[in-house]
Structure 1
Amino acid sequence: MNRPAGTQAAPVDQDVLIVGAGISGIGMAAHLQMRCPDRSFGLVERRANLGGTWDLFRYPGIRSDSDMHTLGFVFEPWKHEKSIADGPAILDYLNRIVDERGIRERIRFNRKVIGADWDSATARWTVTMEDDAGAKSTTTARWLYLGSGYYDYDEPFDANFTGREAFKGQIVHPQFWPENLDYAGKKVVVIGSGATAVTIVPAIADNSEGKGAEHVTMLQRTPTWYFIRPAKDALANFLRKILPEKVAYRITRFKNVKLQDIGFRRARTKPEKVKDFLTGKLKAALGDRYDEEAFTPPYNPWDQRLCLVPDADFFEAMKADKASVVTDHIERFDESGILLKSGRHLDADIIVTATGLKLAVAGKIPVHVDGERIEWSEHFYYKACMFSNVPNFAAVFGYLNASWTLRADIVAEYVCRVLNHMRATGTEVATPALEDPASLTEENIFDFSSGYIQRSLHIMPKNADALPWRLNQDYVHDRAYMRSGPVDDGVLAFGHAKSAATAPALEAAE
């Protein structure tokens, strides 16, 4: 698959090149094996290990924020007792899949993609990679599939807190958690109130092994809506005892998809009822520790993603006086902690800035089509995975209101349908053709108030108000649309390499 820079390949090194060996990339590889067994493929991964997010993030307590019966693949049952799984269990799941299916030998690790160039004359992508030593190589493919995630692996969002250089303790961002960070017996302040913060707080407050912090304070500017559920899915575990594994998994997956869908729709149509429900659960979990100011967000549920709290562990840490929540704004860091706008001071030995991610489109890879740089903010999504006027290219951006893998699965299935249609029709190129972008009515489908979404709208591809030109947020509808809708829909244009198309005309002229 790898060749020295500057050499040529004829015709291509593989039919499909998958960038990224995380959930999206591994899922696509498995779908190709099942649905397009005649297609060759390879994967490139910039890190030394597979897993993507689940290999990068190493902070205490790292776990899924979705149930594993929907974060798991449609083709591979989740077998663990816990439905809300920790990072190591998810990595075990992914490693088992790549080993059992013979995918590992197709992965080239420590290869960072630094460029992708489409040539219409030959109908192929030339992808330039760089290894850890800086040596460059290239590989070619008919189709480029990006499973590179949605955020910047190199740098997180920097909130630029005033005075951080004055702090005498340690400042840690969860994306780059130091190995063997010693927080035992120390005062820790975690800035943020999202899924990462709510995972870290109970994990480092836990003193069951004598390693817990003295106290953990979660400092939030704005409260978050929390949803409490058991880490174990009782129905799933019961069904596995009485039914074949795959049948039990399908039933549980269907149940969880429906519950997610019903919950999201109810939050949008009857937000006050959902607020009352979530607040009631919080009051029951916290008892006299419930603080209305700390747990009443100024927005409706699902205006931002609901924050999952398995087994109420975050609230149990609060009731045990190992953790607390402070709602305030930061004035500045100082030598011993954080001074708040209210005048209160939070003493800290360690400050964890769980302030969010920085989004990235297409893994920040410079993509060119016939020498012209693709500016993603000028292109429309097509069927949630391809882009207007960009040939033989797909990428995965998971759901905001459901599990990431739900989208990864249906996108992989759809791309396999396209590849099979191309094989059947003898075509080499598939391009979502959009002659007049002004004919579409734009709509911001990222209608979430989350900071990481709002900060990145300017770099995101465009969305229209109707399919197929949008990244839809309705899995139940999308699944049927992507699986059964016509591949040759009058929009996706199929053709050949330009050199092949012009050859008959040249011969006639001679």
Structure 2
Amino acid sequence: MNGTRMPSNEEFDVIIVGAGISGINAAYRVQSQLPGSTYAILEARADVGGTWDLFRYPGIRSDSDLHTFGFPWLPWTEQNPIADGASILNYIKKAATKHGIDQHYHLHHKVVSGDWSSDTQMWRLTVDTNNGRKYFYARFVILGTGYYDYEEPLAVTIPGMENFKGTIVHPQFWPEDLEYKDKKIVVIGSGATAITLLPNLAEKAERVTMLQRSPSYVLSLPQPNKDSWARRWIPSWILLKLARIQFLILPFIFFRLCRAFPNAAKAILRYETTRQLPANIPHDPHFKPFYNPWEQRLCLCPDGDFYKSLRDGKADIVTAHIKTVTEHGILLDSGRNLNADIIITATGLKIRLAGGIKLSVDGAEIDFSTKFLWRFAMLQDLPNCNIIIGYTNASWTLGADATAILICRLLKYMKDNNITSAVPRVEYPETMKAAPALNLNSTYIVKARHKLPKTGNSGPWKTRDNYFSDYWNGKYADLTDGLEFSTVST
């Protein structure tokens, strides 16, 4: 894009891409911290909510507590901190409506590319809509598109799947009319989705088997007692603040302990798991992962519903390798055959940052994998653009909000100083020691590392450490460190 551009009324100070929890939170921060700024939210789908509108499989829920996964500016008031997808979607919509954010939606607006013009100091976003292609212009872009591909799951090769005569389902594209009552179901996978599906499917199915190649750690999280003395005697606003503090601090401490003392953490998790298992299902090998706790994300099950389904006898777990899928089930390397009417491939998500949008500067496309992240919020050499990345080892929204606070402070600084562009620059990139942006070794993360940006070993390029330091950086860190500012007359 050169200095000339097509006439358009679609020009804003800030454009937010994505109307999920990250985008709506960013919108709130923009309108509350930058009064008078114009903004729009472009959403590719027909409704808002992101993940919580897309996923429809039985039992879909958050694996983070809603006291920290929810918005800090609208406390989660329900009794259950681990909530179902429909409740989360309603909460997101309620939050947006209450603060007028819903007035800024542009649904069915899929951003396919964005080009920064140094001449005009503006972004031009190419957007596909139901009425054809449109162009939007913005001084700053916030990409709240999440971190996985909405259109395609993680590709996994399972030998012989073409032989199966029953129904094959991926949870990301759950058929609304799927009837599974009294059916034999095999769920392939061992992550959060499989852990969620098993107890919910077992309520109606004849039998559900979770088939895993490698186990995960599964931790029960008791839901609060609705009739506790605290709820009768302590004001609700105090309880909500205490709940948020509790869920901020305790998981942080547990994560640190797992990383510092992995053998002790293994022993605790082993004890907690063993006491909830039925006699016919041993701890080893089904709950003995090859990695240490929190080298991959820990799976949560509220009130131990996963283990209860195993004890009830309508669900079981098998740890083995698949030899081939047959017409009526799955043949394992051991020779055992698992009969199935339905096979569910809960094998993971495909990571895709920025929603697959092609970003360029003066026509030159940006390769994410060659760039460092500035404060985990902006990409090296990419002007006036924030990519929201939440946490993988804590509630996503905590990281997203720390980033939104930082970016709004940057935008205010730019406005106050008549700055038109801010560009992250690494002074000596050849000497910067690179590290993966996402530091868990989960399969879906490892497979995507060659496409992801990097973090460095010094200054504002270092990887994230925790929410508390990120929140402090959002409020007080030096904005000039690592950024190149320009004031260009347009």
Is the TM value for this pair above 0.5?
Answer: yes
The amino acid that maps onto 1:264 is F
Q: Distance in 2 between matches of 1:483 and 1:241?
A: 35
In the other structure, the counterpart of 1:136 is: 133
SS in 2 for 1:178: coil
Matched, 1:257 2:248: yes
Residue 296 of structure 1: how far off its partner (Å): 1.0
| Counterpart Cα distance in 2 of 1:124 and 1:234 | 52
Which aligned pairs between 1:360-399 and structure 2 lie closer than 5 A?
360-399=352-391
Name the counterpart of 2:333: 341
**What is the SS of the residue equivalent to 1:88?**
helix
Query: Secondary structure in 1 aligned to 2:461?
Result: coil
8 Å CA contact 2:433–2:456 kept in 1: the answer is yes
- 1:86-140 CA-partner distances (Å, limit 9, x unpaired): 001001110101111111121010111111010011110000111246x100110
Q: Which residue is equivalent to 1:115?
A: 113
1:55-88 Cα deviation digits (max 9, x unpaired)? 1100000000000001011111001111100001
Q: What amino acid does structure 1 have at the position aligned with 2:144?
A: G
How has the CA–CA distance of structure 1 residues 360 and 145 changed in structure 2, closer, same or farther, with 3 Å as cutoff? same
Amino acid at match of 2:198: V
> CA shift at 1:240, angstroms?
8.7
Q: Deviations over 1:33-68 (max 9, x none)?
A: 211112110000011010000111000000000000
For residue 11 of structure 2, what is the amino acid of its counterpart?
D
Q: CA deviation at 1:447?
A: 3.3
**CA 1:236/1:392 → structure 2, altered by over 3 Å: closer, same or farther?**
farther
Percent identity over the alignment is 42
Q: Is the 8 A contact 1:81 1:237 kept in 2?
A: no
Question: Does the alignment pair 1:13 with 2:11?
Answer: yes
Shift in Å, 1:299: 1.1
Aligned to 1:177: 174
Letter in 2 for 1:195: A
Distance 1:425 1:159 in 2: 51
Equivalent residue letter for 1:313: D
Matched, 1:65 2:63: yes
Find out whether 1:474 has 2:472 as its counterpart: no
**Aligned AA (1:197):** A
1:344-391 deviation per Cα after TM superposition (whole angstroms, max 9, x unaligned): 110000000000011112111010111100000111000011011111
User: Which residue identity lines up with residue 412 of structure 1 in the other structure?
Assistant: A
Q: Secondary structure at the match of 1:15?
A: strand
Q: Distance in 1 between matches of 2:83 and 2:458?
A: 36
- Paired AA for residue 7 in structure 1: M
Show the 5 A alignment for 1:342-361. Answer: 342-361=334-353
CA offsets, 1:132-158, max 9 Å, x none?
46x100110000100001011110012
Query: For the Cα contact (< 8 Å) 2:17–2:41, is it kept in 1?
Result: yes
Q: Which blocks of at least 5 consecutive residues in structure 2 are unaligned?
A: none
| Counterpart position of 1:150 | 147
Decide whether the 8 Å contact of 1:189 with 1:217 is kept in 2: yes
Report the Cα distance in structure 2 between the residues aligned to 1:217 and 1:54, rounded to whole angstroms: 26
Summarize the Cα distance change of 1:240–1:382 in structure 2 as closer, same or farther, 3 Å threshold: farther
**Are 1:204 and 2:196 an aligned pair?**
no
Is the contact made by 1:236 and 1:249 (CA closer than 8 Å) also made in structure 2? no
CA distance in 1, matches of 2:367, 2:221: 42
Q: Which runs of 5+ in 1 are unaligned?
A: 1-5, 207-211, 501-510
TM-score by length of 1: 0.92
Write out aligned runs for 1:37-52 (5 A): 37-52=35-50
The answer as to whether partners of 1:282 and 1:290 remain within 8 angstroms in 2 is no
Q: Is the 8 A contact 2:142 2:386 kept in 1?
A: yes
Output the TM-score relative to the length of structure 2.
Answer: 0.96
Match for 1:284 among 261, 271, 275? 275
**For the Cα contact (< 8 Å) 1:172–1:350, is it kept in 2?**
yes
* Counterpart pick for 2:401 among 384, 401, 409: 409
Measured in 2, the distance between the counterparts of 1:37 and 1:91 equals 27
Aligned partners of 1:24 and 1:147 also within 8 Å? yes
SS at match of 2:115: strand
The 1-side partners of 2:485 and 2:42 are apart by 27
In structure 2, C-alpha distance between the alignment counterparts of 1:196 and 1:466, rounded to whole Å: 36
Contact 1:202 1:317 in 2 (8 A): yes
Letter in 1 for 2:154: F
What is the distance in 2 between the residues matched to 1:293 and 1:244?
Answer: 44
Instruction: Name 2:306's counterpart in structure 1.
Output: 314
For these two proteins, the number of residue pairs brought into alignment is 485
**Rounded Cα–Cα distance in structure 2 between residues aligned with 1:298 and 1:27:** 37
Partner deviation per Cα, 1:266-320 (whole Å, 9 max, x = no partner) = 0011111111111111112124244121111111100110000111101111111
Aligned-residue Cα RMSD (Å) equals: 1.8
Aligned amino acid, residue 255 of structure 1: Q
Higher mean C-alpha displacement, 479-488 vs 197-206: 479-488
Q: Within 1, Cα distance between the matches of 2:272 and 2:420?
A: 55
Higher mean Cα deviation, 234-243 or 89-98? 234-243
Residues 360 and 366 in structure 2, CA contact (< 8 A), matched pair in contact too? yes
Residues 1:332 and 2:324 are matched in the alignment: yes
Secondary structure, counterpart of 1:18 in structure 2: strand
**SS in structure 1 of the partner of residue 190 of structure 2:** coil
Q: Could you list the runs of 4 or more consecutive aligned residues of structure 1 that deviate by over 4 angstroms after TM superposition?
A: 233-237
Residues 406 and 241 of structure 1: CA distance in aligned 2, closer, same or farther (over 3 Å): farther
